[in-house]
Structure formats: structure tokens, C-alpha cells
Amino acid sequence: MRIPRLTQARAPLTRDVRTVNEKGEVQSTSIPAERALTVYVDNRELVTLMTLGAEPEWLVLGYLRNQRLVESVEEVESITVDWDVDAAAVRTREGIARIEERTKKRVVTTGCGQGSVFGDMMEELDRIELPAASISQAQLYGIVNTIRLQETTYKSAGSVHGCALFAGGEMLLFIEDVGRHNAIDTIAGWMWLHGADAARGDDKVFYTTGRLTSEMVIKSAQMGVPIVVSRSGITQMGHDVAKRLGLCTIGRATGKHFLCYTGQERLLLQPELAQR
């Protein structure tokens, strides 16, 4: 498999600013270092993403994948991120067919850090086939506890979303960004780059700190991940799409509490664990 050449332009995730607290004391406080990244594909400006810049090359690759602008990672020759000009230059091997037509229609989304997405997100749903996977209540509690113990930018600076990819009970990747869409796109890019073993969603669970909207559900399904866990809730359209796809959505997951909204058949309940 030909994989694209990537820069490694990881940016500082926080910066310190001077603040005054309720006692009138001056102190230094960390805040997320949000920055604009304008993406160019074959010298054509595509979109500007607001991001922390944790793994910008994976973010751009995952964005192209989740917007269905490229079908194979081999179509991308290189991604070059330059923070001096706040730009990511994508070079494809043969160009993107009908790019103007395919990027003309925009849908405003509820995502923070990404103002719009291309195309009709409801199309192609019936072509998605999710693997037969399940999660036990014990595994779910393990995932929630792993996230609780994870050192995060949110703990030190707040104002960001986090997403993680698990295989069984093992956390493969944890990403934070100003928007949950950027975080899941970064994970999608990582999965694509790491080939079939990472790309298969058979034993994968996706975790997000953000709410489960229709777009988050669809992106998870596009990644082949059939189980999504959130510490937040779910929207009506997110629920409808997940039910249509047979995707398991678990929300309000904190401590030993959770609500399984859809795909209950994928959840192996162990109610006695909630009493301990």
C-alpha cells in the first residue's frame, strides 16, 4: 500500500495567559491554543478548520475520508502542514474527480470547530454494513475509567472535546481538539494510515466527550465502528440514524451510570456490577 508523505507539525496544545481570580489574585492560567488551518487540495482552497493542531496531518486525511472526497489513502500523495502560514497543502496523485460539484453543497452542522460539511450526510447510509460486535458492561466501565484517568488538555485548560478509539479494553488512540468532529476525523485518518488491522471496526469502540449527533454517528459507521460511547447524550436524528444502522449508542456514561439508546442487543448487561 502506498501511504502519503506527511509532515509532523504537531502544535503546542495550550498557552499560558494572565488572569485575575475571585480574590483579586493574579495568576497564570492555561487555555487551549486554538488556531485556524486552511486546507488546500491540489492548490484549490477547500476549507478552514479550527483546531488545536494535535495531529494536523491525520486530521486533514480523516476529513477528506469522512467527507468522501477520497476513497483510498493511496489517492493522497502528501500532506504538508506549515503553521507559519496556517495552511495544509494536500497533493493527490490524480486529482479529485468533480471536486467543484462535490463540494458545492454544504450542510450547516452542530459541530464546534467546523462550521459546515460537504454533501448530503444521509446518502449512502444503506451501503454501510457494520460488523457483528458487542460490549460487556464490565468493558464499558473499564473504558469510562480509562478516560477518567487519562491526562488531558481538558483537565488543565478546559474548553476542548476528547475522542478515543478502543480495541477491547485497550485504548489505541486519544485525541483532543476544539471540536469533536475534528477529533473523530483525526482518529479516522490514523485508522486509514495504519491499514487493515486498524481500519477494521470489528472489535473497536469509539468514545467521545461530545453529544451523539447524526454526523458523529455516521462518521463512526463510516469508520466501521459499531459501538459509540459518550459522556453526553444523543440527539433525535443521531438516535434515528443509529437505529437505522444497527449501531450501539451509549450515553450519559459516567461512573457506573449509563443509558443505552440504540443497539441494545450489542450490550451484554451485568447489572450486578452497578451495585458494587
Q: What is the pLDDT along the chain (276 residues), one digit of tens a residue?
A: 789 999 999 999 988 888 887 688 888 988 888 899 999 999 999 999 999 999 999 999 999 998 889 989 999 999 999 999 999 999 999 998 877 766 665 443 444 544 444 445 556 777 888 998 999 999 999 999 999 999 787 777 777 889 999 997 899 999 999 888 899 999 999 998 887 555 565 689 999 998 898 888 998 998 899 999 999 999 888 898 899 999 999 999 999 999 999 999 999 999 999 987
Give the CATH number for residue 227.
3.40.140.10
Which cell numbers in the block locate residue 191?
485508522
- The dihedral of CA 51, 57, 60, 65: what is its sign? negative
Residues 133 and 255 in one domain: yes
Residue found under cell 462550521:
115
Q: In terms of domains, do 195 and 69 share one?
A: no
Residues 131, 211, single domain; the answer is yes
Q: Are 190 and 253 members of one domain? A: yes
Question: Rounded to an integer, what distance in angstroms lies between the CA atom of residue 25 and that of residue 36?
Answer: 32
Q: How many domains does the chain have?
A: 2
Q: Residue 39 forms beta bridges with which residues? A: 47, 88
| C-alpha cell of residue 266 | 450489542
Identify whether the C-beta of residue 209 lies closer than 8 Å to the C-beta of residue 230. Answer: yes
Query: What residues form DSSP beta bridges with 167?
Result: 170, 204
Both 184 and 233 in a single domain?
Answer: yes
CATH of the domain at 16: 3.10.20.10
Q: Are residues 114 and 154 in the same domain?
A: no
In DSSP terms, 170 is beta-bridged to 167
Domain that holds residue 109: 5-122
Task: Supply the pTM of this predicted model.
Answer: 0.83
Is 236 found in the same domain as 221? yes
Of 70, 102, 122, the last residue of a domain is: 122
Strand 14-20 to 248-254 pairing: unpaired
Do residues 34 and 178 make contact, with C-beta atoms less than 8 angstroms apart? yes
At 59, is the secondary structure helix, strand, or coil? helix
Same domain for 63 and 34: yes
Query: Residue ranges of the alpha helices (H) in the chain?
Result: 56-66, 99-102, 137-149, 153-157, 180-193, 195-199, 214-222, 236-245
Q: What is the DSSP secondary structure assignment for residue 12, as one 8-state letter?
A: P
Residues 6+ apart with CB under 8 A from 186: 54, 55, 58, 59, 62, 163, 175, 177
